[in-house]
Structure 1
């Protein structure tokens, strides 16, 4: 498995992963969104590849806080294709988030996850991987 920063050519390969994330969309709409995101310097997206196939991604942004001085990272999207779950890919993507946060002088990582039935497995993953 290889984790690396997303490049523009990856955008056309994300439709299936967006469906797994629970946000089905067209390839064109996904491209429009990600082209915007790739141009924001405080946003970063990493992809996970297995045998040259994109099997997951994590998207985050560096933000300022009202209640403390240091910047923090907010995870905005995290998904692993269902055929590749339980293989530490999600955990490795989150470790990549931690590394990126440290390199960007961020002291906290936060995320939101929908309060829906299909998110129960995701919530369990987050709780299992909290230090």
Structure 2
């Protein structure tokens, strides 16, 4: 991921990767939804907390090969790969996508993450999920 990516989706992925919501990116009350559990939770602080918990178990967890698109029709898309090394030394990787919904004020109001949980079974195991 380049730090110069100015698309909304690219900025969201960078914020998640840095585990830092930054200033002026998320609207108050922004939510994150996951395809694998269909749970909607506050982006700040819940999503950042989840990434911190993953990093505690998998220190090299990260977002790789990020390709982000500018906002079209209120949504900015990012495709990427989440990857890391599990505590037992096994590497994992899972292609994923984010739909980042952007309000008229330019702030992110909703994130929807789409990922195949079958590719994350080892990660979920390491997290005790």
**TM-score with structure 1 setting the length:** 0.36
**More strand as a share of residues:** 2
Q: Quick check: which one's helix share is greater?
A: 1
